[in-house]
Amino acid sequence: MTQQALEVERRSATGTLPAPAPATKVAKLIDISKCIGCKACQTACMEWNDLRDEIGHNAGVYDNPRDLTDQSWTVMRFSEVELEAGKLEWLIRKDGCMHCADPGCLKACPAPGAIVQYSNGIVDFNHEHCIGCGYCISGCPFNIPRLSKKDNKASKCTLCSDRVAVGQQPACVKTCPTKAITFGTKDDMIKQAEGRITDLKSRGYTNAGLYDPKGVGGTHVMYVLQHADKPEAYHGLPRDPGISPMVSVWKGVTKPILSAVLGLAVFGALVHYVTVGPKAEHEEK
């Protein structure tokens, strides 16, 4: 969580915020066709963010650790798939926060300022204000936030907001040896992805495409997929993610309407008291 150099555009559980100056949107582009699964990004993330996960057990697959945790904000997901008969493919997806333009975590969060969205698009958690309720987990369409077992605060990838604030690229980007991960303005990253997609198509990946799902307003972490028609093949990447209607109803119309109903009930009681008045016994002496 940072920092003065970044302006806050949205803040959890806060209805009134000054409008920030318009800022250039940033994005991280992960080109899955270039990823070799070396996990250097996982290590760089641990180093920069000072995270140390518990040493786990090998479950017979390359995924290590097995899942995201409050100490592992990014995890390589290895999928062995046979999309065409006889053609085995090893799809390796760097999993982590997608930094949605319309973040479900922020929408669900009840604690003012525990989740913010900067004007450059980065979605960040602020432990100081986090109350540990886990609502962000139910708000997230990508199953990303994790609660710490130690202090019950929620954590996830910050897109290295503290590095970006001072003009640096995220740690995972900096370390990636094949340049599968790149960082820049969102426009530039889309352009770069287009070049990669053209290249992949010319080499037989006719369904190559960009993953920037519109259901969450687009994301500030995007993937180049060889098989953009089958995102599920990449360890269950959702085809059309969006904030659950349950969460939208809960945090949308429900809040003002139900609050108004309660206020009106109290007011109604007052009106009844001053118009009809109390009920007394008739023969009371």
Binding site for other proteins (CB under 8 A): 13-15, 110-112, 129, 131-135, 137-138, 143, 147, 149, 152, 244, 246-247, 249-250, 254-255, 258-259, 261-262, 265-266, 269, 272-273, 276-285
Reported residue count of the chain is 285
Q: Which is nearer to other proteins, 84 or 284 (CB)?
A: 284
* Least distance CB 64 / other proteins (angstroms): 21
Q: Which is nearer to other proteins, 14 or 79 (CB)?
A: 14
Q: Which two tokens stand for residue 191?
A: 């352009």
**Which region holds residue 152: left if phi is over 0, alpha if psi is between -120 and 50, else beta?**
left
Edge-to-edge strand list for the sheet holding 181-185: 181-185, 26-31, 221-225, 209-211
Q: Which is nearer to other proteins, 13 or 228 (CB)?
A: 13
* Least distance CB 218 / other proteins (angstroms): 22
């118009």: which residue's tokens? 275
C-alpha torsion angle, residues 121, 125, 131, 135 (rounded to 10): 60
> Which helix (H) or strand (E) covers residue 199, if one does?
helix 186-202
* Least distance CB 137 / other proteins (angstroms): 7
* Least distance CB 282 / other proteins (angstroms): 6
* Least distance CB 36 / other proteins (angstroms): 32
Q: Which two tokens stand for residue 273?
A: 């008291």
Q: Which is nearer to other proteins, 191 or 272 (CB)?
A: 272
Q: Which is nearer to other proteins, 205 or 250 (CB)?
A: 250
* HSE-CB of 13 using CA atoms within 13 angstroms: 13
Q: Largest Cα–Cα distance in the chain? A: 99
